[in-house]
Structure 1
Amino acid sequence: MRKLAAFSLVTVLCLAQSGTRSGIDRSMLDTSCKPCDDFWRYATGAWVDQHPIPADRPRWGKFDELAEANLERLRIILEAAVNDRNATGDRRRVGDYYASCMDTAAIEAAGVKPLQPMLDRIAAIRTRPDLVALLVSLELEDGLAPARIVNVSDPQNADQVIAGVTAGGLSLPDRDYYFRDDARSKAIRDEFVQHVQKLLELLGDPAEQAGLAAKNVMEFETALANATLSNVARRDPYNRIHKTDFAGLALLTPAYDWTAAFDLLKVPRSVAVNVSEPEFLKAFNRELQNAPLETWKAWLRWRAARARAQYLPKAFYDEWFHFERAVLSGVSRQSERWKVCVASADGTLGEALGRLYVEKHFPAEARRRMQQLVENLRAALGEELKAAEWLTPETRANALRKLATFDPRIGFPVKWRDYSAVQVARGNYLASREAAIVEDRKYDAAKIGKRLDRAEWSMTPPTVNAYYTSARNSITFPAGILQPPFFDMDADDAVNYGAIGVVIGHEMGHGFDDQGSKFDADGNLKNWWTDKDRTEFDARAACIVKQFDAIDVGEGMHHTGKLVTGEAMGDLGGATLAYKAYRRSLNGGEAPALDGFTGEQRFFLAYARVWAAAQKPEAVRRQLATDPHPLAKYRTNATLQNMPEFHQAFNCKLGDPMVRPPAEQCRLW
């Protein structure tokens, strides 16, 4: 644990080397747009216009461009493993898995035979005890049951892993998709029923029977959705914390055999249990008791086909693609098979493949530079907390303690996962995938009742993203994101602070956003704020909510302020911290102008460049409905409208669209 005094001891160093280029690509700029009118358009407009969304993508931006490049790097690694006759261990494992995915001839020849054992088990259901027994057995396989046992950190003692029971069973992206009355939502529900029918027909059901079953599936899922928390309600951790014991769980759902489920997963019944959504479990119990067995069987057959559609013959994949990608996200063309298989390998054997990726594509110097950046951002946040006049000494001390215990994880895990138990069969893609799922379930269940492994990761190293974990109080930056345009060891400090520096500040900010602020330095769900400070904090968060509620993104669509609060706070806090850290790195001096821009201007241009992106209309609707992240344009503009530092850098005045009235500007600290 770091001491608080460490904040004043961080050495401020420039990251850039002598002769550094700016890293700003002027060809991205739309100079017909004024920076103070629409900075996102000014900074990224030409790039967006010149890079249409690929037909196999719902969106295209700088994140996606880098992710695509990483897919190509992983493809080269996997193809080399496929062709390496001397490969052993994980290298052979990922090669065989990729080869089995790419072998579409074998997949077509097998037809639905790999799925038949599951279909036979479903067909054998004659009684409700038969149904429950099958649902229990699926706990170890792919968790088709609406409720599922998982491992979670004890909210009151984060070092301890307890059992959790989560709500599931919904096939549409969000519970509100089942209830919205607008024309598009109704059309999606109609498409969903047709989609279920077509998959059941592919399994051999007559059209009339499949059509009736599809309608019953829709009614069944709607009943579950009615008892499911909304995305906004889920943002409050207190809405998802309901600790009980095994007996309490059994009382909530007496129709389910929790004894058999716990025993199958080898989970001790003596551990505490957190039920994320008690009302959902009650609804699950009602459906176990009352829903017709034929409805249950149709739902299970549909879910089994849906979960495996990408591993079955092309007709299944085509139907899955039509609904999941075309209808819901506006994608018009399937990705090349190699992309599908690379993504599958990354999702299934992520750390095995990630280790090969890191060895080839992540230099040690990048990790050292990132560590330095993280400490500079940590120091900047410490200064913000110390200077926040509205914080009482008690809350400030708690906040500084939490900051001091942040655990930054950079590039890759310190301990790699062991996949030796995963049996991969080249030539049998579905069997390989399901073997990996079973071992993954065993791996996760084995943690219940033990101490939390704080070194474990939940993203693979090639991932172009970053995240904060409340229970671990950790910030994680996979190797995949530590590349241009986010992190460029040859660019000047302004650009690196404006890009990866903001990402670092954003993830740190999650420790103090509407969710993270409810967890203490040890990862426990605990109120460490005085009532006065919490009231002031909530008012500052409400400013963000109000700002995003008021933004019209077109066609009458809006963000839901309470859904995007945490991410928007992370953006504003991250940009503010990174800017202060950048200024601090200059040691009181001024950066030279490069490529016609001051250091401050380069900082903000680098920030906006990260959010160069366009989306299909369907993808926009889906994001607004389900995603806590604002749309890319507003991650730039809405953030900078609140920053006087930006206004000064580009000489923006009150009355310009990029300047909110001072009384309306949101501040975090």
Structure 2
Amino acid sequence: MQLLNYPWQKYWSAAILQLEHGVTELSIIIIIIIINNNNNIAPRLTTQHPLKLYTHTCFARWRLRPQTLSFALAIDWTADDGKISVRIPMIPKMNSSAAPCEDMWNYACGNWLKRHPLPVTHSKWGSTQELQAKYREQLRSLIVTLPHPVKVSSVTWKLKHFYESCMALDNLETDKDQPLHRIINELGGWNVLREFSHFSWDYRVNLVKLHSQYGVSPFFKISVVPDPDSPERGVIKVSPAGLGLPDRSYYYRRPDSQVEASYKRYLKDAVQKLGATSTEAATFSEEMYHFEKRIAEVTPEWSALQNPLTSYTKISIGEFENKASSIPLHDIIMAKYPTAKIDDTTDVLIPSDNYLTHISSIITTSDRGNLNNYMMWNFAMAYLPYLSQDYRDIVNLYRKELTGIQESPQRWEMCVDTTQKYFGFSLAALHERGVPFDTRQEDQTVVNSMFENIKDAAKYSIHKSGWLDSKLQQYTLEKLNSLALQVGYPPSIQAELYLDSYYKEMYVQKNNFFQNILYGVTFLQATEMSKLLAPAEEHRWMAVMAGVDAVSYIPEANKVVVPYRLLMSPYFHRYYPLSILYGTLGMQVASAVVSSILPWNVLLNPSGRLLSQDNPVVNQSLRAARWPRRFIAERIVKNHATEHVANQTALQTVIDISALKQAYNALVQAVNRLPHTHQPALEQLENDALFFLSYAQSLCSVSTIQQQDIDTSLSSKLEGSKLLRISLQQVPGFSDAYGCPADSSYLQSQLCEEIW
């Protein structure tokens, strides 16, 4: 460490760390904060010649690692008339030699892409993954620094000992696969392991047990969701499930596809390790792949399940079992939710009559040995990650081949993620409680202001959209007027009493990780049952707040939900300039606002109820979106994407473009009420240019080829560079902000005026 003293040391205290961690010399302005005993901010120091990277000792207090200091480098805290301004890391990401009017992706992300190789434990890396990693590290710190509670019924005791049981590797190595084999025997054995009787094994009994006791979903998944006809109540939903590969489309690839070979190797290695012979394991892997392919053939594409009016039908359990007699749905639901009042008249949501009829037919026409193999493989696949190292190695090898990661995550990362699976709500609440109340209030004020401004911009756009039918226009305005915002958890459900009560039925046993997973499965089913018995308003959005790393719209509550963990630097700070806030978090808020009044969320009214098929708004809303979707799909194809990708991502791209317009319009109105300022080292860029730059940089990401393949198959979101080009072509404000010439590629595209 090199200590530098300054002439005003009698008034100011400062320590500058010289970090020798491979940081290259930089020729930029560095602004250093010096804080005195009265917490005033000193005059800023600048140097304009090449220098090593220096940073104030408070960075150590912020726990920034050397490899992340490129972010700290660009954060400047300055005192101007007693106000604090902050600059986020924009310059280090930029390639200033690129022309924004020709290649905004390279201009915004060029240096970031050069300097940020994909982390070896990730298949994708960008601002979202960076926030996830930062949050994971903070959760780890939160858990390990919790004082050892003595009250066994407290959520902190359960949370801490659950995590510690996951980290206790010696116990896992001692148990090896005994916990799994014990349950396999209780379920009647496994055909491929030669522990199975064709005569005594009852698939109905075991299908019930797998769904109700072990949280496994062979053939289909059962969950509780808000009733589309009465969202204040819960209803049971039956969804397609039971495939080992990420999507049904994977089963239709070339016979020599790498994914198929990897999955078959995974099947073979896993059962061989469990005790099958090499020959039997090889036969098993082939048979299971083709058995799952039969299920894939009748599984609807995920895009076909998006329209809530046509994708799911409500029928009684009695009707269900008449149509799909091989599926013991009544028994499964009774076992999953034992205190709920379930009978043959209870309604359930099903994806389609054909799907369940076909699944019932597959069960009826399958050999009992194959049925057993398939169901037990579903069970084993869910629990292999919780066994000893040799089993985890098999799982990790498959994940590496499927996603392209080079190394498996560290054990603590896996344990934090697993703890989040069962304690996500409590972790998020405790994390939020760790932030000073005044800070949270200020953060919420900033987000609420953005939300209201974006809503106003959207309402203004609806007012002036002459192509919308009058009834649709009135309906969307009513929905926007009643649209609510939830930033973090309300104080009432962060309280210790609420948390302890919520986790009352979550049991944890010290140093027994596998048993704790089983307890966790039982607990999650108990929380689902509470949504059937006595659903609370927060049940509609709590899971999203705890488990989704994005701003989300909850149609059943007509509410935009902002998890508090998103309000972290470098993604967010309440003192960031408005142009940066609107280009990052504001874009997510705008996307949620816009999605409330576009397909498919527009089909749920302001109270969260599904519109009837004969409501004129239904056809009007679908008709209004038809041309923009077709228009954007054509633009996506012209940007070197397949028609499949274009059709799959067109609607979300329309939403993203509309969100960009509304966030931009809201920013323009907001900055017009403020004094005009420039940001240090970016004086050449006005607010609107900074807005588009921050939006572009929020899309900067890298991913493996395998992850790109998964995203192409499953994601409704267009790849970042393509999304950036198409969206900027549809927002004239971008070309105006950067003074693009008439021959700019961003001005050569026809505008779709129907994207308001």
**TM-score, reference length from structure 1:** 0.91
Say which SS state the counterpart of residue 658 (structure 1) adopts: helix
Instruction: Report the counterpart of residue 157 of structure 2 in structure 1.
Output: 92
- Cα deviation code 1:436-486 (max 9, x no counterpart): 111111221332365563554123448532211222222111011112343
Secondary structure class of the residue paired with 1:262: helix
Q: Matched residues in 2 for 1:297 and 1:276: separation?
A: 25
* The 10-residue stretch of structure 1 (130-139 or 142-151) with the greater mean CA deviation from structure 2: 142-151
Change (3 A) 1:474 1:312: same
**Separation (CA, whole Å) in 1 of partners of 2:304 and 2:82:** 48
Are residues 1:151 and 2:216 paired?
no
Tell me which amino acid in the other structure corresponds to 1:345: T
Contact 1:485–1:610 (8 Å) recurs in 2 = no
- Matching residue's letter, 1:652: C
- Secondary structure at the aligned position of 1:164 is classed as strand
Aligned equivalents of 1:533, 1:169: Cα separation in 2? 34
> Residue type of the partner of 1:166?
S
CA contact (8 A) 2:198 2:369 kept: no
Distance 1:580 1:31 in 2: 26
For the Cα contact (< 8 Å) 1:498–1:606, is it kept in 2? yes
Task: Say if 2:533 is the partner of 1:445.
Answer: no
Q: Which residue of 2 aligns with 1:618?
A: 706
Deviation at 1:24, TM superposition (A): 5.4
Structure 1 residues 549 and 412, CA gap change in structure 2 (3 angstroms)? farther
Shift of 1:532: 5.4
Aligned residues: 647
* Shift in alpha-carbon separation, 1:81–1:279, aligned structure 2, 3 A: farther
1:136: which partner in 2? Answer: 208
Distance 2:136 2:390 in 1: 25
1:406 paired residue among 480, 483, 487: 483
Which letter maps to 1:329?
A: T
Matched, 1:421 2:505: yes
| Pairing 1:195-210 to 2, within 5 Å after superposition | 195-210=266-281
Distance in 1 (CA, whole Å) between partners of 2:634 and 2:600 is 18
1:59 to 1:209, Cα distance in 2 relative to 1, 3 A: same
Distance change in 2, residues 1:288/1:568 (3 Å): same
For the 8 Å contact 1:150–1:163, the answer to whether it is kept is yes
* Residue 343 of structure 1 pairs with residue 417 of structure 2: yes
Q: Distance in 2 between matches of 1:420 and 1:468?
A: 29
2:65 counterpart residue number: none
Letter in 1 for 2:203: L
Equivalent residue for 2:717?
629
- Change beyond 3 A, Cα 1:653–1:667: farther
Q: In structure 1, which of residues 408, 427, 430 is the aligned counterpart of residue 514 of structure 2? A: 430
Separation (CA, whole Å) in 2 of partners of 1:87 and 1:370? 38
Of the candidates 583, 587, 593, which is equivalent to residue 508 of structure 1? 593
Partners of 1:251 and 1:129 in 2: CA distance: 24
Structure 1 residue 567, shift from structure 2 partner: 2.5
Contact 2:315 2:348 in 1 (8 A): yes
Q: Could you say which residue in structure 2 is the equivalent of 1:647?
A: 735
Q: Which amino acid aligns with 2:217?
A: L
Q: In the aligned structure 2, how far is the partner of 1:129 from the partner of 1:470? A: 44
Deviation at 1:32, TM superposition (A): 2.3
Matched residue type, 2:260: R
The CA distance in 1 between the partners of 2:670 and 2:572, in whole Å, is: 17
SS at match of 1:529: helix
Identity of aligned residues (%): 18
Q: 2:91 aligns with which of 26, 37, 43?
A: 26
**Gap regions ≥5 residues in structure 2:** 1-80, 190-195
Alpha-carbon distance, 1:49 to partner: 1.2
| Distance in 2 (alpha carbons) for counterparts of 1:421 and 1:87 | 12
CA distance in 1, matches of 2:143, 2:370: 42
1:224 aligns with 2:289: no
> For the structure 1 residues 237 and 288, does the alpha-carbon distance in structure 2 shift closer, same or farther, using more than 3 Å as the test?
same
Counterpart of 1:51 (choices 116, 134, 144) is: 116
Structure 1: runs of 5 or more not aligned: 1-15
Aligned CA distance change for structure 1 residues 87 and 37 (closer, same or farther; 3 Å): farther
Give 1:403 deviation, angstroms: 0.9
2:261 is aligned to 190
Aligned residue type for 2:411: R
- 1:283-304 per-residue CA deviation (whole Å, 9 max, x = no partner) reads 2211221211111222223222
Decide whether the 8 Å contact of 2:505 with 2:526 is kept in 1. no
In structure 2, what is the Cα distance between the partners aligned to 1:558 and 1:666?
Answer: 23
SS at match of 2:406: coil
Q: Aligned equivalents of 2:309 and 2:742: distance in 1?
A: 40
Q: Which amino acid aligns with 2:102?
A: D
Q: Which has the higher contact order (CA 8 A, sep 6+)?
A: 1
Aligned to 2:375: 300
C-alpha displacement of 1:197: 0.9
SS in 2 for 1:181: coil
Determine which structure has more spread, i.e. the larger CA radius of gyration: 2
Distance in 2, matches of 1:206 and 1:52, equals 42
Match of 2:249 among 171, 176, 188: 176
Matched residue, 2:320: 249
Q: Which residue of 2 aligns with 1:564?
A: 649
Aligned mate of 1:237, from 303, 308, 317: 308
TM-score, length basis structure 2: 0.81
Deviations 1:246-282 (A, max 9, x none): 2111112111222322321234223321102432212
| Partner SS, residue 447 of structure 1 | helix
Whether 2:426 is the aligned partner of 1:352: answer: yes
1:319 alignment counterpart = 394
Range 331-340 or range 249-258, more displaced: 249-258
How many Å apart are 1:88 and its aligned residue?
Answer: 6.2
Structure 2: how far apart are the matches of 1:485 and 1:446?
Answer: 38
Query: Secondary structure of 2:400's partner?
Result: helix
Partner Cα distance (1:420, 1:17) in 2? 49
CA contact (8 A) 2:652 2:716 kept: yes
Counterpart of 2:557? 472
Deviations 1:140-193 (A, max 9, x none): 22133322322122223333322211111111111111113386xx22112211
Change beyond 3 A, Cα 1:666–1:333: farther
State the alpha-carbon separation in 1 of the partners of residues 609 and 748 from structure 2.
37
> Structure 1 counterpart of 2:519, which letter?
A
Q: 1:588 and 1:353, CA in 2 relative to 1: closer, same or farther beyond 3 A? A: closer
Residues 368-410 of structure 1: per-residue CA shift (max 9 Å, x gap): 2212221111111111111111123221110011112222111
Contact 1:145–1:169 at 8 Å: present in 2 too?
Answer: yes
Shift of 1:518: 2.3
Deviation at 1:528, TM superposition (A): 5.1
Does the 8 Å CA contact 2:551/2:561 hold for their aligned counterparts?
yes
SS of residue matched to 2:485: strand
Q: Which moved more, 1:439-448 or 1:96-105?
A: 439-448
Matched, 1:41 2:113: no
CA contact (8 A) 2:86 2:575 kept: yes
Deviates more, 1:531-540 or 1:580-589: 531-540
Which amino acid is the alignment partner of residue 484 of structure 1? S
Residue in 1 aligned with 2:446? 369
For 1:128 and 1:259, how far apart are their aligned partners in 2?
Answer: 22
Q: Is the 8 A contact 1:175 1:225 kept in 2?
A: yes
SS in 2 for 1:60: strand
User: What does the per-residue CA deviation read over 1:322-363, in whole Å, with 9 as the maximum and x for residues that have no partner?
Assistant: 21x212210010111111111111111111212211111473
Letter of the 1:217 counterpart: M
Taking the aligned partners of 2:554 and 2:188, their CA distance within structure 1 comes to 38
CA shift for structure 1 position 30? 0.8
Match of residue 386 from structure 1: 463
The AA in structure 2 aligned to 1:612 is C
Question: Residue type matched to 2:755 in 1?
Answer: L
Post-superposition offset of 1:544: 2.2
Distance across 2 between alignment mates of 1:315 and 1:659: 57
- Which one of the candidate residues 573, 578, 582 is aligned to 1:497? 582
Counterpart secondary structure, 2:206: helix
Among 568, 578, 589, the alignment partner of 1:483 is: 568
State the partner residue of 1:284: 359
Are the equivalent residues in 1 in contact too, given 2:225–2:237 (CA < 8 A)? yes
1:525 aligns with 2:613: no
One-letter code of the match for 2:332? A
